[in-house]
Amino acid sequence: MGRKLIIVLLLIGLVLIAAIWQRHRLLLPQITPGEPIPQLTDANPVPGGQPFAAEPHFSVVQLDEATYAIAEPHSWARNVNYLILGDERALLFDAGVGHYDIRPVVASLTDLPLTFMPSHFHYDHTGQGDWARIAVVDLPHVRERASDDRLTLTWGEHLGSGEGIELPTWEVTQWVAPNSAIELGGRSLVLLYTPGHTDNSVSLFDVERQLMFTGDFLTDNGSLSSFLPTARPGDFLQSADKVLARTREMQRMVFRGAHAGIENTIPASHREDLQTLRDGLIAIRDGDLTGAGSYPVVYTFKDGSTMTMEPGWLQQWEPTYADGHSVH
C-alpha cells in the first residue's frame, strides 16, 4: 500500500472519530431551528385545567390542597411544571422553556417565599429570567464547577442553542444533597438522584403523599430518552431499580413527570410503568429488544411507550456513580 493511501485512510479515520465525538453538536442543528419554536395552535385543552387569565399559554390544575400543576399545552414540549406548597415555603419544580413568564402564574397561586428547582438542566425545564432562590442538586461533578455558588450551565447540559437561548448562570442559594429533605414547613420533599436522561436529573419524593415528581426520568407521554449529552442508559437502569426499591409497599404511588402527551392530561405514572421501564432497559442491555432506526435508535416497550437511545455500541451500561456512592 502506498504511503499516500495510508495517510488518506488515517485522515478519514480521524474525521470519523471527530464526527462521533461531536455527534450531538452536529445533530442538534438538524432537529432544532435555532430560534423559538412556534406554539401549537390546535392543542387539546388540559383536562381539569384553568387557563391563566393574564396569559392563557399556561393552564393550572390543582392536584390537591397544596400541589398545583402548571401546564403549557401550546408548547411543543407540553411541559408540566409543579408548584409544591408547604406552610412556610413554596417550591417550583421546573419552569418550562421560558418564552412565557411563569412567575406571574406562581404569584397568583401563593405568596409564600418561592424557591425554583429544575428537575434537570435542559432548557425546556430551566425557564428564563431571574429567581431570588434557586436550589440545585449537590453532585460532585456539578458542585466542583461552581465558584462562589455561581453555576454556569454547559452547552450539552442545557441545549438552549436549539431555540436560540443563551446559557444561564445561576446564583445557587441552596445545594441539596441527594437523599436529604427540602423542608417546606409541614411538608418534606426528599431529593432522589435519578440520572439516566441526563447526569443531573433528580426527583422529589413526598413520602407522606406517596407522590414523586420525576422530571424526564419517568413521564407518561409515551416517550423517554437517554441519548442526549450526559445521558447514560446504565444510570437510567440504576435509577429505575432505586426508585422501585424506595417505593416498595407503596401501592398508591403516583409519579408526576414533566411532559404531557397529546391529550395534555397531567402526567400520572405508577409503579407498574416503572417496572415496564426497568424490564425494557434490561432487555435493551441484554440484546433481547431490537430498536428501530440507526441514529438515534427507538425502542418500543411492551406498553407501547418508547425509549430513544444511541446505537448499542455507544450505549454505556456502567453507572456513573456506583450504588454505594453517597449520591445514591
The CB-of-21 to Zn ion minimum distance in angstroms stands at: 22
- The residue assigned the cell 444561564 is 168
- In this structure, the number of other CB atoms found within 10 A of the CB of residue 325 comes to 12
CA distance 216 to 198: 9
The CB-of-216 to Zn ion minimum distance in angstroms stands at: 4
Judged by CB, which is closer to Zn ion: 59, or 230?
Answer: 230
**Parallel/antiparallel/unpaired status of strands 306-309 and 223-226:** parallel
The CB-of-278 to Zn ion minimum distance in angstroms stands at: 20
Judged by CB, which is closer to Zn ion: 74, or 89?
Answer: 74
Q: Which amino acid is at 177?
A: A
How buried is residue 64: exposed, middle or buried, by Cβ count under 10 Å (0-12/13-18/19+)?
Answer: exposed
The CB-of-123 to Zn ion minimum distance in angstroms stands at: 9
Judged by CB, which is closer to Zn ion: 216, or 273?
Answer: 216
CA distance 188 to 206: 6
CA distance 93 to 80: 9
Judged by CB, which is closer to Zn ion: 83, or 184?
Answer: 83
- The residue assigned the cell 408548547 is 75
Residue in 98, 105, 96 with CA at minimum distance from that of residue 68 = 105
The CB-of-81 to Zn ion minimum distance in angstroms stands at: 11
Judged by CB, which is closer to Zn ion: 151, or 224?
Answer: 224
Judged by CB, which is closer to Zn ion: 138, or 199?
Answer: 199
Residue nearest to Zn ion (CB): 122
CA distance 257 to 269: 8
Judged by CB, which is closer to Zn ion: 85, or 203?
Answer: 203
Joined together, the cell numbers standing for residue 15 give: 474525521
The CB-of-309 to Zn ion minimum distance in angstroms stands at: 14
**DSSP state string for 251-286:** TT-EEEESB--TT-PPP-B-HHHHHHHHHHHHHHHT
CA distance 48 to 59: 9
Judged by CB, which is closer to Zn ion: 85, or 153?
Answer: 153
Buried b (16+ CB within 10 A) or exposed e, 281-305: beebeeeebebeeeebbebebeeeb
The CB-of-203 to Zn ion minimum distance in angstroms stands at: 13
- The residue assigned the cell 444510570 is 235
The CB-of-251 to Zn ion minimum distance in angstroms stands at: 28
Chain residues that interact with Zn ion, rule: CB under 5 A: 122, 124, 216
Residue in 152, 61, 155, 141 with CA at minimum distance from that of residue 109 = 61
